[in-house]
Structures are given as structure tokens and as C-alpha cells.
Chains A and B, each alone.
Chain A
Amino acid sequence: MNHTDEMKPKERMLSILQGKQADRLLVSPLILNFASRSLNLTVRDFCTNGRNMGDANIACFNKYRHDIVYIFSTTSTVAEAMGTKMYFPEDDAPQVETPFIQTRKDIEKLKPVDPEKDGRLPVYLEAVKRCMDAIGNEVFIVPVIGAPFTTSAALRGTETFIKELYTDPELVHTVMKVATQSVKNVIDVYVKAGGVPVTVEPVATGSMISEKHFREFVLPYLKEVYAHIHSYNLPGVLHICGKTKRVIQCMAESGADILSIDNIDLQEAKELVGQKVCIMGNVSPADGMLKGNPETITLMVKDCVAKASDNPKGFIVATGCEVPIHTPHENMVAFLEAGRTFARLPINLN
């Protein structure tokens, strides 16, 4: 299936990061819980056991040879490790059940995570290590971390938390500070294990909060996170799904080098932030991957390449958000095939 590829995923990514010639652009569908399908695991069995999580991602990589292997189950994993209670559906991503901070007094009990011990962080860590051992020489292993605002929202309950942007900004900043420290702790252990951590901040989407709030409550902490990632000489990746047009300028100011975006026209994104950052996106997970067919997906990939492959700071062919777990195999194959065909350098879409 990868007959057109001349480079290994890791080699390709390194070439691109170092500004050298590569055979094609990176093609990186956001394969997260979908990886469970490669070992016929339920999502619950996948995401609660490091061995399963690692081995399923290894099997998935060997099947599809996608350019980046992500380790992820939910954006609330750091919050979970800090005390938020999760609900684990049998075959779907975990969701927040009871936020840790029930009353204002609970913030006194809040402390930064110990990633070797707390919650399911050891599960992720084991998965990263297994992947590093098995396929780490061929592809970058990229654990995905809920960024401070998303983590804080899961600690407090999103609805309450975003109201407190007005009613209790002091609480918001207090929680954000501890969450930021947790995120940095998690980054440290992932890097030590050989992973390249990326952060996701979906609660700060333009569908949810204003640019003003983003600047006041989200941006300073993101900057801290990316400065920390840069201290390891690693690139910063920021994913925000939903409508991002409103906040994409702020995203580009966060220090992240690559923005993974969802519901925005790539042409427009390129014009807004293309001089500053690499962009990745944005085939629709629902209308494309899940409900589309190989023909429509091929067209969607081609359209993305047509719109953004000339982005000054680079482009990565991706899905706008997580690949749905029930995505048909042939749709995934079509996405990757189309990526390999159209993203081949130099770009020639005819």
C-alpha cells in the first residue's frame, strides 16, 4: 500500500523539520481510539491497559504506515490523574463523570500530577514505551495531552468553569496554574520515554469562548507549555477543533509551530497564519471518514492539498479531528492513498 513512499515516516518528518528535501508532505490522519480496531479491542480495553494501547497502535501502524503515531484516549486524562472521575463506556472514549473541584474549597487539594503514578498516565507511558521499542526507529510516537484550559475545564466541569471566567477569574487562574504544571510534568516523562508530546485545547475553541477570554485565560499558559516543549528542542503542536477562525491568530501566537485545525477553510487559515506556522487539516471526520466513501474522501484530500500545500510554513494532510472509531477500513486506506498520491513533492494535482 505504501509503494509510492520512498522514505520512512520518521525520516520524512525529520527532513521536513530540518528543511531538507522529502518525498512528500506528511499524511497524518488523527488515529487515536481508532487504533483499537487493529487488534479488535473495545475502546475500554484499549485505553485502560498500556500493553493493549501500545500493541494496538503498533499493529495499526504496521497496517497503515501513517506518518505519526498518536497515543490518546481522551482530552481529560491529565484531569483524571488529578482527581476527576471518568466514565468508561464499553466501546467509546472515556468521558468526564464527576469533576474533581466540586466546591471552591477543593482547589486547596489540587496538586500537579506525578505521571508515573497518577490516574491512567502510566497506561499512556507504557504505551509510548512499547511503541518506541517496536516502531520508534520508523515513526515518531506522539502522546497527546489535554492542554491547561481543557484540563482545568475537566477538573471543574466545563459549564461551571467557563462561567467562572466572569464570576471567579481568580479561581480560573489558580486552577490553570496547577494544570499547567501538571501538563509540564507529563511532557517531561513522555520526552524521557522518547515521545514527542503534543497538546490539544478543544475547550478553548472559537465555538466556545471569545478571543478576549482566549487571550486572558488560555494564551499565557499555552505559551508556557510551548516554551517548555521548545526547551527540549521539539516542535510545539496545538490542536483545537470546532470553529477556529475566531481564535486562530491567538493560536499562532502561542509559540506552537504546527496548528491542527478543524472547521475552517484551509485557504483562509493559510492567509491568516500561514506566514507564521505550519498548518494541518482538515478532512471532516464525520462527513468524510465515517460517512463518506473512498471517492469522496479522495476528493476531500485533494481539495486540502490544493488549498494549503503551498502554505509558506508547511502543510500536513490530516483529519480535522479524531478519526471516528467506526470509520470503515477502506475509507482509511483511501485517505492514505490519496495523501500519498496528491501530497507527493513537487505537488502536481493533474
Chain B
Amino acid sequence: MDANKHKILNDLAQAVIEMDAPRAVKAATEAIYCKIDPYEIITDGLARGMDKVNELFEQEEYFVPEILLCADTMNAGIEVVRPHLPKENTRDKKKVVIGVVKGDTHDIGKNLVKIMLDNAGFEIYDLGRNVPYAKFVDTAGELNADLVCLSTLMTTTMDGMQVVIEDIKNAGIVSRIMVGGGPISPGFAKRIGADGYAKNAAEAVKVAKGLFQNIHVPLTFKTPELVRVRKKNS
């Protein structure tokens, strides 16, 4: 039985790496049939595959099309498992609000970061692209977000990040802030008061995790019984 379980989980990871959605669905179905714990199916199967994808991206073996398709494959697997998950318990997940700042509709970079952070165990609230500054501030406040991620590809919108960061701080919201995107340099990130900068999606995970090491973000705001805006990409 254990050998079989091992084989199925490997199969799931491999399906994600190889962008093979039908295989992921088949293996996930088999896993459920074999009564493997749904969390294990995700964590030790699908998400483990995605971790490897992240590595391949870092090593420049994989590029954007590969990541998008691997993520689609993982999501196809998760959809099979989802009905079998016990009622969700996400209390200890760090909440991340992410979006492309107003004036810019380029969202591939943001989507990659979202995929990677989601896989790394963060709870993602995706505001999409061309997001008004106030929307970041309001959502971060409402959700008592742990992290706000701002992305842009354009030089014309990069100053908007500074506005968002200032507004978030002025509103007394304690979320940490990470920025990234084509024109953004570490120096710029620092100057505008960001807590973290990542040069790509793989690094974003490390930076985001680093921001929370040994740091307890105080829950000084109202508890988030509010709307769930979590969107799944499939």
C-alpha cells in the first residue's frame, strides 16, 4: 500500500512537472480512490511538483509558458481533490493581497508570483490588473493582510507604488509590502519604503517567506470574516 501511495504521489508531481493535466486528473482520482489523505495529495504530490517547477524556472530551464501550464495542471489535480477536503482551515496561512498598480494592464508577472506564493502556502487575494491605489489600501485593511504585493511593468506606473505604500502606512495598516516588475530595482524598492523586492517569481517566494521569519505580524485589526475574494485560475 505504501509503495503504491508513494508511486501515485510521484506520479502527481511528475504530471505537474511535465504539464500533463489528464495524467494529473487520473492520478488524483486514483489517489482519492486509494484513500490517500487529500492534504497529502496536494502537498506531497501536486505542490511538490510545483516546487520542482519553481526550481526549474530559477535555473532557466523553464520559462513563462511552462509555469503557466504546470500551474494549470496542478489546478486540474486540485479540482479533483477539492470535494474531498475537510472544511477549510486557513487560520495560520499568511494572507497576501496582490495586484498590478493602476495604469498598467500587464499581468503575467503578477500571475506568476501569485502561482508561486499560492503554492508556497500563502492565501492569495488577487485584485487583478490596473488596480486603483485605494483598492490595495482598503483590501489590505479589511483582510488584515500580512503582505501586499505590488507589480508593474511600466515606468509610468512605478511611482504609483510609492503612493500605495504611503497610503497603507498612513492608514495604520501593518501589512508588509513587496514590490517587483520590469523597471523596478532594489534601490527603487528601498527608496519608496517597500519591505521586500523580488526580481522574479521564484525569488518572490523566498523574499515573502523571509519577511515572516521570526516575525509575528500583530493582529491589531478586525478579524477577517469578510468576503472571500479568492479566485482560482482554471
A residues near B (Cβ < 8 Å) are 87, 89, 92-93, 95-97, 158-159, 162-163, 165-167, 207-210, 213, 242, 246, 285-287, 290-291, 322, 324-326
Contacts and interface: CB of A to CB of B under 8 A. Distances in A.
B103 A87 contact: no
A242 B103 CA distance: 20
Contact of B68 (A87, A163, A322): A163
Nearest to A97: B105
B187 interface: yes
Contacts of A286: 155, 158, 183-185, 188
B105 A166 contact: no
A159 B68 contact: yes
26 contacts: A92-B154, A92-B156, A92-B157, A95-B104, A96-B105, A159-B68, A159-B108, A163-B69, A165-B65, A208-B63, A208-B64, A209-B65, A210-B62, A210-B63, A213-B65, A246-B60, A285-B155, A286-B155, A286-B183, A286-B188, A287-B187, A291-B188, A322-B155, A324-B155, A325-B156, A326-B155
B17 interface: no
B182 interface: yes
B65 A162 contact: yes
Nearest to B157: A92
B111 interface: yes
Given A167-B69, A208-B64, A158 B155 contact: no
B19 interface: yes
8 pairs of A and B residues whose beta carbons are closest in the complex: A286-B183, A324-B155, A162-B65, A95-B105, A210-B63, A208-B64, A92-B156, A286-B155
Given A159-B68, A163-B65, A286-B183, A87 B188 contact: no
A159 B111 contact: yes
Nearest to B106: A95
Nearest to A326: B156
Interface in B53-109: 60, 62-66, 68-69, 72, 103-106, 108
Contact of A285 (B60, B183, B184): B183
Contacts of A209: 63-65
A93 to B, nearest CB: 8
A158 B183 CA distance: 19
Given A87-B105, A95-B106, A324-B156, 6 more contacts: A92-B103, A93-B156, A159-B111, A166-B65, A167-B69, A290-B183
Q: Which of B60, B156, B187 has its CB near the most chain A CB atoms (within 10 A)?
A: B156
Given A246-B60, A324-B155, A326-B156, A287 B108 contact: no
Describe B's contact surface by its main secondary structure.
Answer: loop
Interface of B: 19, 60, 62-66, 68-69, 72, 103-106, 108, 111, 154-158, 182-185, 187-188
Contacts of B108: 158-159, 208
B145 to A, nearest CB: 25
A331 B157 CA distance: 19
Nearest to A242: B182
Contacts of B103: 89, 92
Contacts of A324: 155-156
A127 B218 CA distance: 58
Contacts of B185: 286-287
Contacts of A92: 103, 154, 156-157
A290 B105 contact: no
A216 B106 CA distance: 25
Contacts of B104: 95
A242 B199 CA distance: 12
B129 to A, nearest CB: 10
B61 to A, nearest CB: 8
A158 B64 CA distance: 10
B101 to A, nearest CB: 12
Contacts of B106: 95
Contacts of A246: 60
Contacts of B188: 286-287, 291
Given A210-B63, A286-B185, A166 B19 contact: yes
Nearest to B19: A166
B130 to A, nearest CB: 9
A200 B21 CA distance: 34
A210 B61 CA distance: 8
A166 B69 contact: yes
Contacts of B184: 286
A213 B155 CA distance: 28
Contacts of A166: 19, 65-66, 69
Contacts of B19: 166
Q: Which of A96, A210, A285 has its CB near the most chain B CB atoms (within 10 A)?
A: A210
Nearest to B181: A286
A92 B56 CA distance: 36
A286 B154 CA distance: 9
Contacts of B156: 92-93, 324-326
